[in-house]
Amino acid sequence: MSCSVFHWLTVDSADFKVGVTSLAKLLQIPSHPDHLLLLKTISIVIKERLSSGAIEKAKVKQAKATSQGSKPSSVSIPLSKVTLGFSTDDEGTAEAAKILRLLHIHDLRELQDAVNQAIVAVQQITANPKTDTKLGKVGR
């Protein structure tokens, strides 16, 4: 006889749907009409952001940022203080555009950081102040 811990659980019950919705709100995941898809999203978020490895990685990143004297990587700014740069008639569209703009800026910042790291790595190899006079020629 196979006994499952979840044998009493029915995924179409109202209590289950309310539980999934409240868990999504707790994790700040947008609501979705399909509660099973929402549950799958919750599972992915928990695996990616709340696993012991992800938490340890975040702690190391935070400690590194603190030791270098830089600000934390995450700063809360009210969306109302972000300028859109163009006008829309719909407030929802304007807020969505602000969010997309902030996400794009974040991606550009990560790209710039990667480019800067590549430049530093190349400079460590090529910017050697010692000169090899055997390779140089003066005149013809």
Residue-wise pLDDT tens for the chain (140 aa)? Answer: 456 666 777 888 888 899 899 988 988 889 889 989 999 999 998 888 888 888 888 888 887 777 765 555 567 778 888 888 888 888 888 888 888 888 888 899 999 999 999 988 888 887 755 656 676 666 55
Does the reported pTM lie above 0.85? Answer: no
pLDDT value, residue 80: 81
Q: Which residues contact 99 (CB under 8 A, 6 or more apart)?
A: 79
Q: What is the 3-state secondary structure (H, E, C) of the chain?
A: CCCCCCCCCCCCCHHHHHHHHHHHHHCCCCCCCCHHHHHHHHHHHHHHHCCHHHHHHHHHHHHHHHHCCCCCCCCCCCHHHCCCCCCCCCHHHHHHHHHHHHHHHHHHHHHHHHHHHHHHHHHHHHCCCCCCCCCCCCCC
